[in-house]
Amino acid sequence: MDGRRGALVEILESGAYWLFYVVSVCGALLHWNSGNGLLAALCAFAAVSGALLIARTHPRPLAHG
């Protein structure tokens, strides 16, 4: 049961990071379009953080060689 629970936690974690990324990008675009540069920059920083979190949890392919 631990193996399936661990897999479920990994899927939920990855999904949460993707949701964080998408909402941050949308927020950055919305704030930029409405002329609020400070909040746009804050949301863009959050989007970059989300992308880094996604990259950290994404499984790495095996090296060929």
Is the pLDDT confidence value at 10 over 90? no
The alpha-carbon radius of gyration of the chain (Å, integer) is 16
Phi, psi of 58, rounded to the nearest 5 degrees: -75, 130
Question: What is the residue extent of each domain of the chain?
Answer: 2-57
pTM: 0.78
Model confidence at 60: pLDDT above 80: no
Looking at residue 63, its pLDDT comes to 63
Please state, in angstroms and rounded to a whole number, the distance separating the CA atoms of residues 18 and 32.
21
